[in-house]
Amino acid sequence: MERTMLRRRALAAGTAALAVGALALAGLTGVASADPAGATAPAAAPGTLPPGLIKALQRDLGLDAQEAAARTGNEYRAAVIASGLEKSLGASFAGARVSGDGAALTVATTDASEAARITGVGADAEVVGHSLDRLEAAKAALDKAARHTTPEGVPSWYVDMRTNRVVVNAADTSAADTFLAAAGVSRSVVKVNRSGEQPRALADLRGGDAYYMNGSGRCSIGFPVRRGTQNGFVTAGHCGRAGTTTNGVNQQAQGSFQASTFPGRDYAWVATNANWTPRALVNGYGRGDVTVAGSTEMLEGSSVCRSGSTTGWHCGTIQQRNTSVTYPEGTISPVTRTSVCAEPGDSGGSFISGSQAQGVTSGGSGNCSSGGTTYFQPVNAALQVYGLTLMTSGTPTDPPTDPTDPPTEPGGTWAAGTTYAAGATVTYGGVGYRCLQGHQAQAGWQPPNVPALWQRL
């Protein structure tokens, strides 16, 4: 495949960065450009990132405090821009990624005439042979085949933005060819890598605060959530099944699993009793807790950190989203593949980029002495499937008690889980609204509730 780099315009690493500490709904200020991909952002400052997160980024990515603030801010801005371009490019969109400490954004397209649109918002334009839709269709065929028969000698596969291919990691070529034949996927869109990985679910583990299942096994809280007035948390599905009881880090009664999926997916949610209050925090293990402000999914190449009781804070980069990985119990898809290390004791815990929740630790290979690969289950998928609201810095600690609150949504085009770019318009309750700041909508962020995000028309 011939690939043509048309233009490079790196995102400014200081003044254009988004202040991670200002991502709480109450802190979003200013009106973004009406260009669907042209979200603007205030400058970042080193003090806006928790000290523990800065130290982990310094250690694992070689960044100083100013670079860490600039990078995480630019990565958030790039994600918003890429979301807008995905909508405007349509079928020609071929993926997006960031690279380098400055988080330079590259957006790929199969249509060379769209290059000017991409470079016009400060991104690199790359013309490639396969659209993202085509690659994801090939990966979906592989996923379907894996649901029928676990592929032997094929630990993982994913859509790779850098190579514009579906990468199949396999013990040998014959294992990959057998898998491709079973799925009916052409080699023309596939790159086969030799891999000795032997990923496994990190059972009896924790990433944030510990909890114990049925008084024995141990896992960890991913992110606190709420469903209506019921408090709880999301975690890895392999940690328990519906009905499994839990005790908290203090060994006191905590709650029980309400729903769990594994294999296929690797997520679950636990409802807790009234003794447990959810907080929008990730355990910083003595370095300062990290506040969760949202769950915007970062692009490939973005920095990401994991909190775990065995290995503490460790950081790396997002390598590929929409990955499929084969454990002994079966195939999990889609998960996100990262360069972050993990060890037994870290499972189910929090993956976070800046202040944005990314997912819960699923499994991986290697360790934190020699390095490794770790996969996380995206948190937004769990929120959507189970109808949960992520606890963020903009979420009241106490659940709403006003009996006059409407029991159902009043209708309109606005929908939780949708990514909105600046300038987008929606209706809600018979009223029109214009998006002021690109974001991924969450339950509770209805337009009339968040004037920092939506302007009434």
Residues with active-site annotation = 238, 266, 347
CB 102 within 8 A of CB 67: no
Question: What span, in angstroms and rounded, lies between the C-alpha atoms of 107 and 97?
Answer: 7
Q: How far is CA 384 from the centre of its chain?
A: 13
CB 411 within 8 A of CB 446: no
Q: What does the DSSP assignment read for 202-215?
A: --S--SSSEEEETT
CB 207 within 8 A of CB 222: yes
Question: What span, in angstroms and rounded, lies between the C-alpha atoms of 31 and 25?
Answer: 14
- Which of left, alpha, beta for 21 (phi over 0: left; psi -120 to 50: alpha)? alpha
Three-state secondary-structure class, residue 77: helix
Q: What does the DSSP assignment read for 285-317?
A: TTS-PEEP-B-PPPPBT-EEEEEETTTEEEEEE
Question: What span, in angstroms and rounded, lies between the C-alpha atoms of 161 and 97?
Answer: 7
Prior bond of 51 cis (ω within 30°)? no
Within 13 Å of residue 155, how many CA atoms lie on the same side as its CB?
A: 20
Question: What span, in angstroms and rounded, lies between the C-alpha atoms of 70 and 64?
Answer: 10
Question: What span, in angstroms and rounded, lies between the C-alpha atoms of 281 and 278?
Answer: 9
